[in-house]
Chain A
Amino acid sequence: MGIPSAPLVTKAFKDLAILNAAKRGMPHERICFTPHPIWGKTPEEVRAYVEGPDPVTGKPLMKEVVDALTVPLSEEDKKSGTVSVSTGPATFTDTADNLQEFYLNNGYTDFLPIILPTEERVDRMMRATSHKPDEVVGKMAAGAYPPWSYSVRQVAASAVMAGCRPEYFPIVLAIASSGMASLFSSTNSFAFAMVINGPIRDKLEFNYGIGALGPFAQPNATIGRAWTLLSKNLGNGGIPGDTYLGSLGNNLNYNNVVIAEHEDASPWVPLHVQKGFKREENVVSLFRGLGVVPGQVARGSSANENVQFDSQMSDLFSTFTGFFGALIIADPLVAARLKEQGYDTKEKLIDWLYKNTTQTVKDYKSRNYAYLFDYPRALRGDEPWATWYKLPDDAVVPHFPHASDFNIVVAGGQTNAYPQAGNLSYGVSVSIDKWM
């Protein structure tokens, strides 16, 4: 802007704020700090912060703020520069045990043992694709760093480390080509999911039956893990306090939510066909959000033959943030019952859910995400939020802003009629076949 500024940051983000300023070419930016947190404090408590010291320097906070805007810049202050990050050497040589320790101690793993990516294993992995070893697959960014790009060979190393068989590699390449990392810097501890569609589900023996979302098949387990490892090692993500800030973290980040859709048992069109692909194509679709909740928490009993699964699903969404969407994972029993209820297409069910999952404006405005994300959109005139914020408190609005925020997939072993639901937004669908 060309005019002086003084950023105020809470103490908990001291290192990150200084590092991010440096990444943007201002290693000497005059950042002032308050105690942490500000959120939830009374005006009187915050007044004491303002009248008290900067907890980093110990000097009076407001003197620091005024000085930040008025003390002339020194020659040192005017120096610019950026932070460079080493990607390390191309290869390492040592004993197997030492290399396990080396990878572990340098943050290259998820703190579980890895399969060492020897040249032989990486070469074997790369033979599962027609793409050249040095071809650029894509790029990922983490935190405030510029994006990193990566090659087929580098993705292959992550796939080996995760325990993938070579025949899984085109799926890992498709995920990597999306540029969507499975580790995100938000303090909200994001979770990620993928949906696999097409004949490759059977060819690679994905599990989409009993325990579909559990640790019961190698492709389900390792491809999800590869996503996280490549997000760390090729995307620079997952460095606590730097490129990762999730306060609690998310256990789903170990291998993400991997869902192979049970296409044969579904009464509906599979997800990838909804997204414009042919049924015989192999596709991976990626989602981002906060996690998954089980249908057992919904009202109604599956022992009741008249149970209304549409209402149950709507019930599941009451604690969801509308900032992300809803990914419904329906056991085939649930899907079949819904079809009997009249939902012979996913679109009909989504239309019902969109119109019948509602909240009062008063409840809506009281939600954290609404204040943080939707209110500033309303200020900008973005719809539907601008209209919602003009409505009276007792008016009713949809829980999710658009019908397109809903996605439905079918998976599970039909041992019980429960759905699960993810507060997850659809990101992108990528052809796996293009990476074979």
Chain B
Amino acid sequence: MAPRLDSLHGKTVYLVDTGFHGSDVLLHQIQAWFSANLPDTTTVFKRKAGPYAEDDPALWKEIKSQGNAVIMAVGH
């Protein structure tokens, strides 16, 4: 596993929707939680391209270059 961050203050967290039903609703609520509770953390919502079991290397590349952490939601 990758080393953890000292904190999420000032960091960018990607919220990745795998595509399962309801994942988008969950992640938007998490986004709202961050706005209310950690307002200096930037959140970026993304739906992963391709069916849930397929890789999305373009998104991983974007996250690696522009993000500091990922929350991936499965829903179901």
Q: How many residues of B contact A (CB 8 A)?
A: 43
Q: By the criterion CB–CB under 8 Å, are B25 and A4 in contact?
A: no
**Interface presence of B20 (CB below 8 A):** yes
Report Cα–Cα, A103/B19, bound state, in Å. Answer: 39
Q: What B residues does A86 contact at CB under 8 A?
A: none
- The reply to whether A1 and B63 form a contact with Cβ atoms under 8 Å apart is yes
In angstroms, how far is the closest chain B Cβ from the Cβ of A76? 11
Q: Does A307 contact B (CB under 8 A)?
A: no
Would B4 and A38 count as touching, CB distance under 8 A? no
Once bound together, how far apart are the Cα atoms of A9 and B75, in whole Å?
6
Distance in angstroms between the alpha carbons of A340 and B20 in the assembled complex: 46
**A residues contacting the other copy or chain, number (CB 8 A):** 49
A50 touches B47 (CB 8 A): no
Choose among B3, B48, B63, B74 the residue that contacts A9 (Cβ–Cβ < 8 A): B74
Given A47-B29, A69-B8, A71-B4, A373:B23 Cβ within 8 A: no
Contact B8 A73 (CB under 8 A): no
Q: For chain B, residues 6 to 39, give those with C-beta under 8 angstroms from any C-beta of chain A.
A: 6-8, 13, 19-23, 25-26, 28-30, 32-33, 37-38
Q: Are B8 and A70 in contact (CB under 8 A)?
A: yes
- CB distance A38 to B75 under 8 Å? yes
Known: A38-B26, A50-B29. A379 touches B76 (CB 8 A): no
Q: Cβ of B68 < 8 Å from any Cβ of A?
A: yes
* Cα-based distance from A54 to B21 in the complex (angstroms): 20
Residues on the A chain within 8 Å of B32, using CB: 47, 50
Contact of B25 among A6, A41, A69 (CB under 8 A): A41
Taking CB atoms, residues of chain A closer than 8 Å to B71 are: 5-8, 65, 69
- Which of B6, B26, B33, B50 meets A377, CB within 8 Å? B50
Inter-chain contacts of A46 with B (CB < 8 A): 22, 25-26, 29
A4 and B51 in contact, given A38-B75, A41-B25 (Cβ under 8 angstroms): no
In the complex, what residues of A have CB within 8 A of residue B25's CB?
A: 38, 41, 43, 46
Which residues on the B side are within 8 Å of A26 (C-beta)?
1
Q: Which residues from chain A contact B49 at a C-beta distance below 8 Å?
A: 376-377, 379-380
User: Contacts A8-B26, A13-B76; is A376 near B3 (CB within 8 Å)?
Assistant: no
User: Is B72 in contact with chain A by the CB < 8 A criterion?
Assistant: yes
A371-398, CB < 8 A from B:
371-373, 375-377, 379-380
Let me know if B3 and A4 touch, CB within 8 A. yes
With contact pairs A38-B76, A51-B33, A65-B71 given, residues A4 and B23 touching in the complex (Cβ less than 8 Å): no
> Would you call A83 an interface residue if the criterion is a C-beta within 8 Å of the partner chain's C-beta atoms?
no
Q: Which of B4, B19, B50, B76 contacts A4 (CB 8 A)?
A: B4
What is the distance, in angstroms, from B58's C-beta to the closest C-beta of chain A?
A: 9
> Given A6-B70, A36-B76 in contact, is the A376-B19 Cβ separation under 8 Å?
yes
**Residues in chain B within 8 A of chain A (CB atoms):** 1-8, 13, 19-23, 25-26, 28-30, 32-33, 37-38, 47-52, 56, 60, 63-64, 67-76
Interface CB pairs A-B, < 8 A, 13: A3-B67, A4-B4, A5-B69, A5-B71, A6-B69, A7-B74, A10-B75, A28-B1, A29-B1, A39-B21, A40-B22, A65-B71, A380-B49
